[in-house]
Amino acid sequence: MTEKKFNVAVAGATGAVGNQMISCLEERNFPINSIKLLASSRSVGRKIVYRGNSIAVEELKENSFKGIDIALFSAGGGISEKFAPLAAKDGCVVIDNSSAWRMDPDVPLVVPEVNPHAVAQYTNKGIIANPNCSTIQMVVALYPLHQKYGIKRIVVSTYQAVSGTGKKAVEELDSQTRAILNSKNYESKVYPHTIAFNCLPHIDVFLENGYTREETKMVYETQKILEDDTIGITATTVRVPVFYGHSESINIEAKKNISAQEVKSVLKKTPGVKVVDDPKNNVYPLAIDAAGQDLTLVGRIRDDESIENGINMWVVADNIRKGAATNAVQIAEILAKEYL
Ligand code: A2P
Residue nearest to atom 22 of ligand 1 (CA): 40
* 151 and 63 part of one domain: no
Residue 152 sits in the same domain as residue 244:
yes
The answer as to whether 153 is a domain residue is yes
Most ligand 1 atoms within 8 A of CB, residue of 14, 83, 190 to mutate: 14
149 and 122 co-located in one domain: no
Nearest by Cα to 118 from 132, 127, 106, 108 = 108
* Protein residue whose Cα sits closest to atom 12 of ligand 1: 75
Helix (H, G, I), strand (E, B) or coil at 59: strand
Residues 100 and 168 reside in one and the same domain: no
From first to last of its 340 residues, the chain has per-residue pLDDT tens of 578 999 999 999 999 999 999 999 999 999 999 999 999 999 999 999 999 999 999 999 999 999 999 999 999 999 999 999 999 999 999 999 999 999 999 999 999 999 999 999 999 999 999 999 999 999 999 999 999 999 999 999 999 999 999 999 999 999 999 999 999 999 999 999 999 999 999 999 999 999 999 999 999 999 999 999 999 999 999 999 999 999 999 999 999 999 999 999 999 999 999 999 999 999 999 999 999 999 999 999 999 999 999 999 999 999 999 999 999 999 999 999 999 9
Is residue 246 annotated as a catalytic residue, yes or no? Answer: yes
Q: What are the tens digits of pLDDT across the range 236-252?
A: 999 999 999 999 999 99
Report CA(316)–ligand 1 centroid distance (Å): 27
**Number of structural domains in the chain:** 2
- Report the predicted TM-score, pTM, of the whole model to 2 decimal places: 0.97
pLDDT tens per residue across span 23-56: 999 999 999 999 999 999 999 999 999 999 999 9
Report which of 110, 323, 327, 99 is spatially closest to residue 205, judged by C-alpha positions.
99
Residues of the domain holding 70: 6-130+324-339
Whether residues 147 and 80 share a domain: the answer is no
User: What is the 8-class DSSP label of residue 96?
Assistant: E
| Any domain includes 283 | yes
- Contacts (Cβ under 8 Å, ≥6 apart) of 213: 99, 204, 205, 206, 207
Tell me whether residue 1 is in a domain. no
